Amino acid sequence: MRVTKFAKYLPRFDWQPLILTTKPIAYYHYDCELLNDLKDIPIFRSNNLDLARLSYLLKIPRQAIKKSTGKTSMLSNFLFYPDAKSPWIRFALKLGCKIINQQKPDLIFATSPPFSALMVGIKLKQKFNLPLVTDFRDPWPTGFVAPPQIIRNRIIKLRQQIINQSDQVTAVNQQTKEQIDCPSAIVIENGYDPSEFNQEPVKLTGFNIVHTGNIWEIFDNLKLVMQAIAEIPDVRLTLVGNCDKPTLQQIKQYKNVEYLGTCSHQETISIIKGASMLLYLSKPNQAVGIKLYEYFGAHKPILAVCDQCNEAMRLIENHQVGLTVSAQIQEIKPAILSIKNNKLIFSPRGLEKYNRINQTQQLSGVFNRLVI
């Protein structure tokens, strides 16, 4: 989402993106509507021999992909260096050279993960002597599936080499900037696209709390929230996202919880707009999730239930958009009641900072400084 929104709005600031990516890969969920953001942007797709691409060519069912995603990623991180997408590098370089020779771009923007994309950016910079901006959406070597301990020091050394060879580094938040140990990095956070919030909200029953996103990583905290809500009869919880059958069976035990499954991005935005309150649950090894920024676009009160989520807490408190509590029922229930009974002073401020248009203007300013 971060990359497609940059690409969507860069032409407003006199930059024409040329996207280098891979041919289709196997993934557990697709939302083809998101390609509408890129309808006027040239997309160049290279071949690839990583496991996700091979799985796509072998037509492995999506459910099998979903069940094996974590295990496959862990295996790939043991087999490949610097990450599971490294088989893509040589194909990307070949197509990248062709694009540069034909299109004559002024600058390279390499965004990660996958961190192999940064390697492609470095090699293209060296060959064509173009300015390079490297973008860290994750600090690396942490992330959803961390690499094995045995190569982490090697990866950290490589990360520093990439930073040293970049003309500018951008980071998705302050915590990531600190973790990659790059004081000169410019923080351009995730955000929301104002054009997506023009649609009508979905009508939800009563005081309705909405949570969006995959459930398997945050179910322990979600269960505490469901238990707290069970003690407040006139409050309902709506869930949008992926979960497995055993988890769904547990969810169905709670009468005031409705599970809608996986929805398109646009459908999800409409549901967010219809909420009385939005629920944010932090994932392991994640400073702050992209959905928190999209919650900002809805201008609804937010309840964050998390431990050690300092970045999310800072954002919520600084912008006065809700409450943050630890994962304890005795804290969750009063917080819900406080928001429900309008005891929370909800006065959002400074959220325009996360408007994707404003963020793209900031990125274009980085580009301008490197080429003018």
| 288 vs 371 pLDDT, higher one | 371
Torsion over CA: 10, 19, 194, 348 (sign): negative
pLDDT at 216 over 90: no
Domain boundaries 194-353, CATH class: alpha beta
Provide, rounded to the nearest whole percent, the portion of the chain with pLDDT above 90.
72
**Alpha-carbon gap, residue 347 to 344, rounded angstroms:** 9
Q: What architecture is domain 2-191+356-371?
A: 3-Layer(aba) Sandwich (3.40)
CA–CA separation, 45 and 269 (whole Å) = 29
Does the structure show a pLDDT above 60 at 276?
Answer: yes
Task: Decide: residue 320, CB within 10 A, 0-12 exposed, 13-18 middle, 19+ buried.
Answer: middle
The larger pLDDT score, comparing residue 26 to residue 363, is at 363
Give the Cα separation of 8 and 15 in Å (integer).
10
The CA radius of gyration of the chain, in Å to the nearest whole number, is 21
Do 347 and 327 contact (CB within 8 A), yes or no? no
CB 363 within 8 A of CB 170: yes
Mean pLDDT of 243-251: 92
pLDDT score of 36 more than 60: yes
How far apart CA 109 and CA 2 sit, in angstroms, is 13
Least confidently predicted of 13-17, 39-43, 128-132, 304-308: 304-308
* Whole-angstrom distance, CA of residue 36 vs CA of residue 355: 19
Please tell me whether residue 231 adopts helix, strand or coil conformation. Answer: coil
Q: Per-residue pLDDT for 78 more than 70?
A: no
Contacts of 140 (CB under 8 A, 6+ apart): 112, 113, 115, 155, 159, 180
Cα(181)–Cα(185) distance, integer angstroms: 9
**Which residues, listed in sequence order, are joined to residue 110 by a DSSP beta bridge?**
134
3-class state of residue 193 by DSSP: coil
At 98, the amino acid letter reads: K
Predicted confidence at residue 287, as pLDDT, reads: 79
In three-state secondary structure terms, 28 is coil
- Kindly report, residue by residue over 167-213, the tens digit of the pLDDT: 999 999 998 999 999 999 999 999 999 999 999 999 998 999 999 99
Provide the pLDDT for residue 257.
Answer: 96
Packing angle, helices 290-298 and 310-318, rounded to 10: 20
Taking 60 as the threshold, does the pLDDT of residue 71 lie above it? no
Q: What residues does each domain of the chain span? A: 2-191+356-371, 194-353
For residues 141 and 179, the model is more confident at: 179
* Domains 2-191+356-371 and 194-353 equal at CATH topology level: yes
Coil/strand/helix, residue 319: coil
pLDDT-derived band of residue 70, with 50, 70 and 90 as boundaries? Answer: low
Mean pLDDT score, 201-226: 93
| Most confident region among 25-39, 67-81, 118-132 by mean pLDDT | 118-132
Which stretches within 167-305 are classed as H helix? Answer: 174-179, 219-230, 245-251, 265-274, 290-298
DSSP assignment of 53-110, as one string?
HHHHHTT--HHHHHHHHHHHHHHHHHHSSSSTTGGGHHHHHHHHHHHHHHH--S-EEE
Residue 79's pLDDT is: 73
Per-residue confidence at 62, pLDDT binned at 50, 70, 90? low
Burial 188-216 (b: 16+ CB within 10 A, else e): bbbbbbeebbeeeebebeebbbbbbbebe
State the pLDDT confidence band at 311, using cuts at 50, 70 and 90: confident
- Region 286-313 average pLDDT: 89
Residue 316 clears pLDDT 90, i.e. is over it: yes
pLDDT at 69: 52
Report pLDDT for 262.
Answer: 92
